[in-house]
Amino acid sequence: MSRDEDLRQKILSGRSDANIGFEELRSWLLRLGFVERVRGSHHLFRREGVRELINLQRDGRQAKPYQVRQIRQTILRHNL
């Protein structure tokens, strides 16, 4: 299984939202075709065909758990 698929499974399982690395998640979103814009500490991601704006912020080296949950909902809603 590839790194991307491992991360996707980790996000979709919902068991380790607090243990998703910020840079790992950021890179994965870029590989999924999202475009990033940085405004201060906020990393905003958009993708054509996806209405939601994804906002990511660091929590140390990790992504914030509630934002991982929001990304999971977006992935499921749009079958990414």
Q: Residues 3-51: pLDDT tens digits?
A: 888 888 888 888 888 999 999 999 999 999 999 999 999 999 999 999 9
Question: Residue 45 belongs to what domain range?
Answer: 3-78
Position 1 pLDDT exceeds 80: no
CA distance 62 to 49: 27
| For residues 67-80, average pLDDT | 91
Q: What total number of domains does the chain contain?
A: 1
| Per-residue confidence band for 70, with pLDDT thresholds at 50, 70 and 90 | very high
pLDDT score, position 3: 84
Other C-beta atoms within 10 Å of 34: how many?
A: 19
Closest CA to 73 of 30, 14, 32: 14
Q: What is the CA radius of gyration of the chain?
A: 12
CA distance 45 to 13: 22
Indicate which CATH number applies to the domain containing 16. Answer: 3.30.920.30
